[in-house]
Structure 1
Amino acid sequence: MGNEFRLSELAERIGARLAGEGDAVVHGIAPIEEAGPGEVTFLANPKYARFVLGTKATAVIAKATVEGAQASFLLADNPYLAFARAVEVFHPPERLPEGVSPLASMHPSARIGAGATVSPFVVVEERVSIGDRTVVYPGVYLGKGVVVGEDCLLYPNVVLYHGVRIGSRVILHAGCVIGSDGFGFAPTAEGYRKIPQVGTVEIGDDVEIGANTTIDRAALGVTRVSRGTKLDNLVQVGHNVVIGEDTVIAAQAGISGSCRIGRRVMIGGQAGLAGHLEIGDGVMLGAKSGVPASLDASESRAWSGIPAMPHPVWLRLGKLLPKLPELFRRVRRLEESGKTKSEE
């Protein structure tokens, strides 16, 4: 159970407008169908407004009140943002003790910022720099020359290969690998010869990278993930890819080498991009999209399907596909009927 707050105080802390009983006390937050007295819930999608009528929650975070509801309301133009703030209020993050564990392997040349935490069984190679207040969990490996900014969280078993640069306020979830070799091989008569991958990876400020996501180092130059971008679990980013600011990529997407992805792009789960493509600012790719060519929002903002096509076209195609067997049978009957008449 988190801390207790009066609704009037909670409204102020999350930037919401109170509609209801300001002196009511709440102690936690829960899903709308599970919340009980003393708890807050939220409504982000109006199509679920019916659940508000039956909720036992003391208050609902929403964009507008729901007629007939018994709960108080915490009103916000962006309910999702207000919800995120409320979760932070009830469940403030816990910090590990500051300092370097004696069980960590630290190179003497490494620089550790003020208030940083280096946990047991972390390996920190030469010339590594860890910023102020950054927390490094057990089992992390930081290769030679790695730079990690301030206020970062590196969860267990993160691996940063040599020379990787991480900005400030970055979150790297368990098992992600940044800076491994790109997939580059020269075909020869004797087989494939490895092309040395001598570039690096740069991660901008406020980036979050999910568990077991892999980002390959550039063959030459830089693989870059820009400020504010969020990558889900199990995303593959190939060598020399550049991802623009505030882009979001869902799980199991694969970005082939040398792609250029713009700002505020949204890529659905299991989407796949061929190499050397450009995806324009603001493009949205549906789940499982297969992208063989560059896309721009001027033709269509939303794309789906294999190969990727404008989303409205894909929707129409989806309606037609189940009808194709019957259409084929009808065409065959017409052909056979026409053949019989011509023979007569």
Structure 2
Amino acid sequence: MNKTLKELSEFLGGKLHGNGNIIISGVGDLESAKEGQISFIKDKTYLEKSKSSKASAIIIPPGIEIPEVPAIEIENPYLAFSKLLGIIYKSKQVFFKGIHSTAVIGKDVKIGLNVSVGPCTVVEDSVSIQDNTVICSNVYIGTKSIIGTNCLIYPNVSIREESELGNNVIIHCGTVIGSDGFGYIPVKEKYHKIPQIGKVVIEDDVEIGSNSSIDRATIDKTLICKGVKIDNQVHVAHNVVIGENTILLAHVTIAGSTKIGKHCVFSGQSGAIDNLTVGDNVIAASRAGILQDTPSNSVLWGMPALPIKEQKKITLATKNLPELSREFRELKKKVEKLEEKMK
């Protein structure tokens, strides 16, 4: 990075405290930071740790002072620190420039300015790839797909035919966009496959982790709305709608035709069955299984998923079951003895 603290303060829009001429070459946490690195504290609970840190500078929130160490004061130190991480992250990312000689480009493909297509990538006919997008090696892009501006598609991603990606979309290794939805009709002892002729639409500023699957719609579209963040190994089935700025963590499964609202959080291994409507601002705790329509602002836990306060009561009561079972057996014996005496 090699920038002065003053330059970083101006870049972040913060208030400089102390020597602005020191050179910052990297970042680190409070405990492991070395000379030349900058760290951060979110609040006063980290103040004691900061005093023993070897960091050359610290990003601090308003109302906190560390006179011994140069600092940048800013409203959200964590966000500011992440912006510095972004500088380093970009410097570490080196992609092939231009269209590699081993890439296979179909007919009537539209490629914008400053687009990179890596080795052994296949771009089928009538695809549109817009400005400043990077397509890494071994990617497959199906016929008539649209890739927006400033997208980053990592190696071994498959984007099936007629998929649409907005701007600033990031898709990590091994993910499949537009695979067939799981649709079959039982016919006697066999299953008849339902052709999946819809598509996947991914709006702006979406990031999808590695080895996830977003299935195409049976008809119409599977929709991933603006700002959604999807972790690794997540399955979104056909005709699902994921609302704006919702987060799906690892191993989440959303079954077909379910609609998830805005600003929801689905924790690891949680999910929802098909044809449900889940409102806005819903939180599904880890392993929550949503089996019914859910109103906005709900916090759910358990299988079947219930309001978390109710589920906690059930969990606590469950711990008492062995003792209650023992008491029940004793009471049953007493009742049997009383009935015997009354004969």
TM-score w.r.t. structure 1 length? 0.92
Aligned partner (choices 314, 335, 340) of residue 337 of structure 2: 340
Aligned partner (choices 81, 84, 102) of residue 82 of structure 2: 84
- Quote the offset at 1:312 in angstroms: 2.2
Question: What is the match of residue 123 of structure 2?
Answer: 124
Question: What is the match of residue 27 of structure 1?
Answer: 25
Larger deviation, residues 322-331 vs 33-42: 322-331
Question: What is the match of residue 173 of structure 1?
Answer: 172
Per-residue CA distance 1:214-239 (angstroms, 9 max, x = gap): 00000010000011111011000000
Aligned partner (choices 304, 319, 324) of residue 322 of structure 1: 319
CA contact 1:121–1:138 (8 Å) conserved in 2: yes
CA contact 1:129–1:147 (8 Å) conserved in 2: yes
Percent of matched pairs sharing the same residue: 37
Q: Structure 1 residues 69, 321: closer, same or farther in 2, change over 3 A?
A: farther
Question: What is the match of residue 105 of structure 1?
Answer: 104
State the AA in 1 paired with 2:309. P
- Quote the offset at 1:326 in angstroms: 1.9
State the AA in 2 paired with 1:333. E
- Quote the offset at 1:295 in angstroms: 1.1
Runs of 5+ consecutive residues of structure 1 not aligned to the other structure: none
Runs of 5+ consecutive residues of structure 2 not aligned to the other structure: none
TM-score w.r.t. structure 2 length? 0.92
Q: Structure 1 residues 24, 147: closer, same or farther in 2, change over 3 A?
A: same
CA contact 1:52–1:69 (8 Å) conserved in 2: no
CA contact 1:106–1:123 (8 Å) conserved in 2: yes
Are positions 1:197 and 2:196 aligned together?
yes
Consecutive aligned runs of 4 or more in structure 1 exceeding 6 Å deviation:
none
- Quote the offset at 1:292 in angstroms: 0.4
- Quote the offset at 1:325 in angstroms: 1.4
Q: Hey, what's the Cα distance between the residues in 2 that align with 1:88 and 1:186?
A: 49
Question: What is the match of residue 273 of structure 2?
Answer: 274
Question: What is the match of residue 53 of structure 2?
Answer: 55
Q: How does 1:129-168 map to 2 (within 5 A)?
A: 129-168=128-167
Per-residue CA distance 1:49-78 (angstroms, 9 max, x = gap): 553343222233343566778544433333
Question: What is the match of residue 37 of structure 1?
Answer: 35
Per-residue CA distance 1:124-174 (angstroms, 9 max, x = gap): 110011111111101000111111011110100110111101111110111
Q: Hey, what's the Cα distance between the residues in 2 that align with 1:222 and 1:278?
A: 17
CA contact 2:40–2:60 (8 Å) conserved in 1: yes
Structure 1 vs Structure 2 CA RMSD = 2.1
Q: Structure 1 residues 311, 47: closer, same or farther in 2, change over 3 A?
A: farther
CA contact 1:219–1:239 (8 Å) conserved in 2: yes
- Quote the offset at 1:322 in angstroms: 2.4
Q: Structure 1 residues 332, 223: closer, same or farther in 2, change over 3 A?
A: same
Q: Structure 1 residues 17, 68: closer, same or farther in 2, change over 3 A?
A: closer
Q: Secondary structure at the match of 2:149?
A: coil
Aligned partner (choices 289, 301, 304) of residue 304 of structure 1: 301
State the AA in 2 paired with 1:151. N
Q: Hey, what's the Cα distance between the residues in 1 that align with 2:233 and 2:158?
A: 14
- Quote the offset at 1:342 in angstroms: 5.0
- Matched residues, number: 340
Per-residue CA distance 1:102-139 (angstroms, 9 max, x = gap): 11111131111111001110001100111111111010
Q: Secondary structure at the match of 1:99?
A: coil
Q: Structure 1 residues 316, 54: closer, same or farther in 2, change over 3 A?
A: farther
CA contact 1:212–1:233 (8 Å) conserved in 2: yes
Question: What is the match of residue 289 of structure 2?
Answer: 290
Q: Secondary structure at the match of 1:92?
A: helix
Q: Secondary structure at the match of 2:90?
A: coil
Per-residue CA distance 1:261-309 (angstroms, 9 max, x = gap): 1111111011021001111111111111111011112xx5321111111
Question: What is the match of residue 253 of structure 1?
Answer: 252
Q: Secondary structure at the match of 1:52?
A: helix
State the AA in 2 paired with 1:277. L
